[in-house]
Amino acid sequence: TAAIARAAEGLIARHDEGQGAMALARRCARALSADQRFAIAPHALTEARLLLFAAIVECEGGIALDDVLEALIGPHDRDRFALLRVMGLDDAGAFQVAEMLAPVTGLADGGDAALVDFVEDYRAFDAEHAVQWLLDRMSPRALADKLALLDRR
């Protein structure tokens, strides 16, 4: 009977996860064509629909949804720059996103000057850097560790 209870709990948990916000965002992103995803992504982000944006990036870029969210709200601007650049946000969109996320990322502590610096740094972050960031995120961790070891030799 304990095995039946565990199986039932597992089934309920999978069902609950399937109805959660992340699962719904993933289903929505997968239902869109690639062109639609690229068209919607900047709007989703600037309208603070972070889960939908993250699910779109997951579909298009092969980066796990959790990693996308970490890049958006984590401590490193470089991750945000790369993510925004890969998804085609212009300077105005990047400013809007920085302003929206400022309370979470710590950018709010620097005031307007920090936002201006963010956009200036974003302008300097080109597509080549963004693609390299994306490739780094897409490669398996074990492979990256082995390549780092080979580079040290």
CA distance 21 to 26: 9
Burial of 102 (0-12, 13-18, 19+ CB in 10 A): middle
Q: What is the pLDDT of residues 49-92, one digit of tens each?
A: 989 999 998 888 778 888 889 999 998 999 999 988 888 888 99
Confidence (pTM): 0.71
Residue 114 has a CB neighbour count (10 Å cut-off) of 15
Look over the chain and give the mean of its residue pLDDT values, rounded to a whole number. Answer: 82
Give one word for 58, left, alpha or beta, with left for phi > 0 and alpha for psi -120 to 50.
alpha
Contact in structure between 84 and 57 (CB atoms under 8 Å): no
